Amino acid sequence: MSNRLALRIALLGGLALVLFGLLFFRLWTLQVLNGEEYLAEAKNNRTREYRVSAPRGQVLDRDGEPLVRNRTSLALQVDPTKLPGDRARRHRQLARLAELTHTSPRRVRELLAEGRRRTPGAPVAIRRDVGHYLVYYLQEHQREFPGVSVQRVFVRAYPHGTLAAHILGNVGEVSEKQLEEKQYAGLEPGDEIGQDGVEDAYDRFLRGEPGLTRIQVDAFGQPTRSGHLVSRPPVPGRDLKLSIDAGVQAAGEAALASRGLPGGFVTMDVHSGELLGVGSFPTFHPAAFTRPMTQAQVDALYRDEVLAPLANRAISGLYPTGSTFKLLTAVAALESGEIEIGTPIFDGGSITVGGQEFQNAGGAEFGPVSLVRALQVSSDVFFYTLGWNMWDNGELQRWSHRLGIGREPGLDLPGGEPGLLPSRAWRDSLFAAGETDRPWSAGDNIQLAIGQGDLQASPLQMAIAYATVANGGTVVTPHVGLRVEDAAGRVLREFEPRPQRRVRIEPQFRAAILTGLHDAAQAPEGTSYAIFGNFPVGVAGKTGTAQRVGYEDQSWYVALAPYPNPRIVTAVTIEQGGFGAESAAPAALQILEAHFGKQSSGEAGPNGGSPG
């Protein structure tokens, strides 16, 4: 053998030896060093884990009647990560799914795109409440529909339809951003949480703990005969009992709906802050959020800025309040020493300040009036004068703020707004910034004294202010949550929020104000005597007619009952509803009739006073 050939054989042999050594080392690494790791991965490839969603707790009214419960539904889901990679095949599969679910391919693609944006990597529900025929068909043709499955899910059900929709809120899949929040630690894409209302505020109680099912599968991903390997059942959520009285809630919503105009109402216990009813019109059906919505539904719910059915006007609707604000002006004037209970002020129908004339509604004249009479007939001149006298000392703003105007109401629902309490500092700062054409003036305070001008307040804020006077000075914390219960009805936690603060109101001042409001509701010449004159329960109430630029007059009414020791307050406002006695007062009467279980014996007659 030549030296050249021997050298080639030696090189080839050496190369083979090196390759064999590398192969041996790799096999040794895989089998010895990393053997347990790859064994575990191999076993994992033979198993599939499925999260089992937990049913949410029920939401109950104060008498234990379910307002929200659960039902089971078969949901057709698509896992975008398992769809065919080939674009043509993927489009054909989505087209077949659209045909099977009686929808359009475009809608299916839109749902998938929306799901990817909201929770990347999670299965997307294409349709809920699918029929069993579709389930059987997909099971028989599983290999033709990769990434498609039918899961049994829990869906919220609303036995009373739209009742209390704004209080209840809705449930939806947790978003990618929400998953980063501490309160949602442990959740995964596709899990559902409360997105609004009490579903959101009390989500940690209503949301249960998901279960886990692990099964063994073959090479095609189909379950083997071994079946389930591990099964951990889900833990249902707790039930939430609300302070809401279903009868009061239904009466309030019906009263608003019968007027056919946007508005809101609040009915609250003046001592505890428990909300017996909170309603807004127009409303919506919360069941709409349990299934994919059409574009028309989305537009109606989210893009109609006029009707705005999702807006809760009772807690976030901000308006001038008209003469219902006179209660706050009376408290400020009495407590600051501006007047005494019997101080007379001459009402000649108008006053002129700085060349500007301020008139009574309807041109009425009442002559010499003191506080009680001024509240009964709703003398604007009396309260104009108080606003003028207090324009430079800030007492009207100070007491209004203490009673809750310009503050967040402290409600256990999302959406409570602080509104706007106009003041010298506020307007002067706008003037300095060039955002208004003038600084604070006496006219601003005169307008505020009767609930006009730049004032922005909600029905809930007015209810809190009236409740504070009615209970003697306790600013309650309004709330709808009463307690959390288990499935057997055992109380696990009670909610009794502390008062927000206490305001000292002299008992004689409280009594005088309530007397004036009672005369306004149930004495001849009272502004709402025609509505409440024959109501068998004592009522202290005030009408309000507020002017809004670009709108017809807004109707207000705030009632305290039973007089002289009120237990509840009801505040109602109706946009473009006219005089307070025309729309809001009759709506408040319907609510009080439902609460007390008593009916008015008929209208008191035409002897009503000024519109207020």
- The whole-number average pLDDT for the span 377-384 is 97
Write the DSSP assignment of 298-335 as a string of letters.
HIIIII-TTT-TT--HHHH--B--GGGGHHHHHHHHHH
User: For residues 559 and 570, what is the distance between their CA atoms, to the nearest angstrom?
Assistant: 5
Local structure of 456: helix, strand or coil = strand
Q: What is the distance, to the nearest Å, from the Cα of residue 263 to the centroid of all Cα atoms in its chain?
A: 15
State which amino acid sits at residue 69.
R
pLDDT band at 458 (very low <50, low <70, confident <90, very high): very high
pLDDT for residue 532: 97
State which amino acid sits at residue 55.
P
Tell me what percent of the residues of the chain surpass a pLDDT of 70. 90
Secondary structure of 532-575 as H, E, C letters: HCCCCCCCEEEEEEECCCCCCCEEEEEEEECCCCCCEEEEEEEC
- The whole-number average pLDDT for the span 290-298 is 77
User: Taking a C-beta distance cutoff of 8 angstroms, is the pair 582, 546 a contact?
Assistant: no
Residue 230 has pLDDT above 80, yes or no: no
Residue 384: C-alpha distances to residues 184, 265, 374 (Å): 53, 28, 11
Strands of the sheet containing 211-217, edge to edge, are: 47-52, 211-217, 223-232
Find the range with the poorest average confidence among 136-145, 154-163, 501-510, 566-575.
Answer: 136-145
Residue 540 or residue 77, greater confidence: 540
pLDDT for residue 516: 98
User: For residues 589 and 528, what is the distance between their CA atoms, to the nearest angstrom?
Assistant: 10
User: Taking a C-beta distance cutoff of 8 angstroms, is the pair 570, 524 a contact?
Assistant: no
Residue 277 has pLDDT above 80, yes or no: yes
pLDDT for residue 54: 86
For Cα atoms 516, 518, 519, give the angle at the middle one, nearest 5 degrees.
65
Residue 606 has pLDDT above 60, yes or no: no
Q: What is the distance, to the nearest Å, from the Cα of residue 22 to the centroid of all Cα atoms in its chain?
A: 67
Residue 228 has pLDDT above 60, yes or no: no
- The whole-number average pLDDT for the span 491-514 is 97
- The whole-number average pLDDT for the span 104-116 is 78
pLDDT for residue 67: 97
User: Taking a C-beta distance cutoff of 8 angstroms, is the pair 484, 206 a contact?
Assistant: no
H or E stretch covering 215: strand 211-217
Residue 49 or residue 439, greater confidence: 439
Residue 139 has pLDDT above 80, yes or no: no
Find the range with the poorest average confidence among 359-368, 473-482, 510-519.
Answer: 359-368
pLDDT for residue 223: 58
DSSP conformational letter for 420: B
User: For residues 168 and 194, what is the distance between their CA atoms, to the nearest angstrom?
Assistant: 10
pLDDT for residue 119: 59
Secondary structure of 571-601 as H, E, C letters: EEEECCCCCCCCCHHHHHHHHHHHHHCCCCC
pLDDT for residue 560: 98
User: For residues 221 and 566, what is the distance between their CA atoms, to the nearest angstrom?
Assistant: 68
Tell me what percent of the residues of the chain surpass a pLDDT of 90. 61
Write the DSSP assignment of 106-162 as a string of letters.
HHHHHHHHHHHHHSTTS-EEEESS--HHHHHHHHHTGGGSTTEEEEEEEEEE-TTTT
b/e map 256-268, b = 16+ CB within 10 Å: bbebebbbbbbbb
Ranges of beta strands (E only) in 321-393 are: 345-347, 350-353, 356-359, 367-369
Tokens of 346: 């001459």
Find the range with the poorest average confidence among 69-83, 446-460, 519-533.
Answer: 69-83
pLDDT band at 194 (very low <50, low <70, confident <90, very high): very high
User: For residues 222 and 201, what is the distance between their CA atoms, to the nearest angstrom?
Assistant: 41
Residue 450 or residue 38, greater confidence: 450
- The whole-number average pLDDT for the span 586-602 is 88
pLDDT for residue 70: 93
pTM of the model: 0.85
pLDDT for residue 229: 57
Burial of 185: CB neighbours in 10 Å, binned 0-12, 13-18, 19+: exposed
Residue 320 or residue 489, greater confidence: 320
Give pLDDT tens digits for 296-313.
887 888 888 888 999 999
**Sole residue written with tokens 């909170």:** 278
pLDDT for residue 43: 54
